[in-house]
Each structure stands twice: as C-alpha cells, then as structure tokens.
C-alpha cells in the first residue's frame, strides 16, 4: 500500500505545488512509482510544474463520475518514467469533490503507486477537507515569515481535527542573508511555532522559476539548490538518513 501524502499550508503561495512537484519527481528519479493528484480545483497548475503543458483534458472528477477509467485520466510527464499526474477539474462540480469519493479514489491509487501526493488548494476550507480525506500523512509548507508560520500552525490544528497525525514541516524559499537579520525566525523557531518535525529546507532559487519557464521539473534542470533540497527530502521520505548539508547546518 502506497503512502498518501497531503501537501498543505493554510496560506496561499508558500510553494505547495512546487514542493509537491519537486519531491515527487525526485522520488520517481529514485525509481519509485509516484502519482501526483492536483486537488486545486479550478486553479490547477501542478501539470505545468511537472513539465506537462496545459493540455490535460481528463481529471479526477471524470474518474469519480465514472466517465473514464483511472488509466485514461492519468498522464505521464516527460522524462521521468514512474511519474503520473491526475489533474484537477477546471470547475467545481460538488458531487465529484465529496471527501468520501476522493478518499475512495486515493485508496485505489495507493494500491498502484508507492507514493501518492495530493497538492491541496490554499486555505483550510472544503478543498482542504476533500484533499485531507484522501491522505494518511501530510507535509506542511511554510515560509520563514510570521504570517505563513501562523497559518501553518492553523493547518496543523486542522489536520488534528480530521484525525491526521504524522505530519512534517517543509520550510520553503529560505534566503540565508535574511537569517542574519536580528529577530528573524530560523528553522528551530519555525518548528516550535508550527509544532512539527522538519523534513527539509528549500532555498530561494531562481532555478525553480527557470525550470518552470522551460517547462521541466527542477530535478531535470539542475542538481543544485532547490533541486538538491527536493532530492534530500525525497530520500528522507523514502527512509534514508540524509543529514542536512554542512552549509545548511551552519546557517539554520
Ligand atoms: N524555492 C523557491 N525559490 C524560488 N521561487 C519559488 C520557490 N518555491 C516556489 N517558488 C515560486 O513561488 C511561487 C508560488 O509557488 P507555488 O505555486 O508552488 O505555491 P502554492 O503554495 O502552490 O500556491 P497556491 O496557494 O496559489 O496554490 C511560484 O511562482 C514559484 O515558482
Ligand atoms: Mg498551488
């Protein structure tokens, strides 16, 4: 049975989609069978982060409605065998976004894939509840900023309310020069505020934007910076002991 991993944050724009695509593509590069489910109904963009152009016609709503099979709806991003995407519906159709139906869909995926990632929408409303219903663990993505950390702590409370334990924190877009500013939060402060163990720290990296512009996952664009951080997190999720790079230890 595969792991079903919710990627959430509360606050919008923290990097949920980038982190989902980054870690999932690294796990595929490590030889795992990985599916990414875009749960951002109406605002999907995980397809672009995985190197697929926005031509995906079929989505998880079509599968839940019984219009198409799972195999028909899954698309394969280029360059990473073992990686699949299940797109989000482009508009909200309530009967296709019921948490129970989504949970059944995810249970089916977990029988076929080692890792099933769900990229959740911003906020902690109905979209979050649907996405969470399909998952058995979570990654909470935050920036090192008070508003993002507070929303991440709220996301943790929301996860507890739906009975989900086993979450970890991903700190995204870290700029080392800001860590030296008096009063700036570091990774320890973030873990204290959010109340989760740390899975990894992703630096601010123009490669994330450049890879997006070239329409390739970051790991197929470079092996440094954010790509290295995604790879380290993928290995940790996969059970390997990966210490933080020495430069990271010194800084964070
Ligand atoms: N490590 C990084 N370095 C530089 N830019 C980044 C990094 N991570 C994410 N970004 C950029 O930040 C922006 C927001 O990222 P992303 O879309 O992944 O966030 P999100 O949490 O999924 O947003 P939403 O809540 O709208 O779904 C994007 O333009 C992305 O390219
Ligand atoms: Mg997103």
The answer to whether 146 and 35 are in contact (CB under 8 A) is no
- The ligand 1 atom at the shortest distance from the C-alpha of residue 11 is 25
Its pTM stands at 0.95
Mutate to test the pocket of ligand 1, among 208, 215, 232 (most ligand atoms within 8 A of CB): 208
> Which pLDDT value is given to residue 250?
47
Domains observed in the chain: 3-251 (3.40.50.300)
122 Cβ below 6 A of ligand 1: yes
CB burial readout 218-230, b (16+ within 10 A) else e: bbbbeeebbbbbb
> Which pLDDT value is given to residue 55?
64
Residues whose CB falls within 8 Å of the CB of residue 164, separated by 6 or more in sequence, listed in order: 6, 132, 135, 136, 137, 138
> Which pLDDT value is given to residue 222?
94
> Which pLDDT value is given to residue 178?
78
Name residues of the chain where pLDDT drops below 50.
249-250
Mutate to test the pocket of ligand 1, among 17, 21, 205, 225 (most ligand atoms within 8 A of CB): 17
């Amino acid at each position: 049975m595969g792991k079903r991993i919710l990627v959430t944050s509360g606050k919008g724009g923290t990097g949920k989609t980038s982190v989902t695509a980054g870690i999932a593509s690294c796990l595929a590069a490590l030889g795992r069978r990985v599916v990414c489910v875009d749960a951002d109904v109406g605002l999907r963009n995980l397809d672009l982060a995985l190197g697929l152009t926005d031509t995906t016609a079929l989505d998880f709503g079509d599968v839940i409605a019984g219009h198409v099979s799972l195999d028909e709806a899954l698309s394969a991003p280029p360059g990473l065998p073992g990686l699949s995407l299940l797109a989000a519906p482009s508009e909200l159709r309530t009967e296709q976004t019921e948490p129970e139906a989504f949970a059944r869909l995810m249970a089916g995926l977990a029988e076929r894939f080692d890792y099933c990632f769900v990229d959740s929408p911003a906020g902690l409303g109905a979209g979050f509840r649907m996405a969470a219903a399909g998952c058995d663990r979570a990654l909470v993505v935050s920036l090192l900023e008070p508003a993002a950390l507070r929303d991440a702590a709220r996301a943790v409370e929301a996860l507890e309310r739906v009975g989900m334990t086993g979450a970890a924190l991903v700190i995204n877009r870290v700029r080392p020069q800001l860590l030296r500013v008096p009063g700036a939060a570091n990774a320890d402060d973030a873990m204290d505020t959010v109340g989760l163990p740390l899975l990894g720290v992703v630096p601010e990296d123009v490669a994330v934007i450049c890879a997006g512009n070239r329409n390739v996952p970051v790991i197929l664009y470079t092996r440094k910076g954010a790509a290295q951080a995604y790879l380290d997190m993928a290995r940790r999720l996969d059970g390997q002991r990966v210490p933080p790079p020495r430069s990271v230890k010194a800084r964070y």
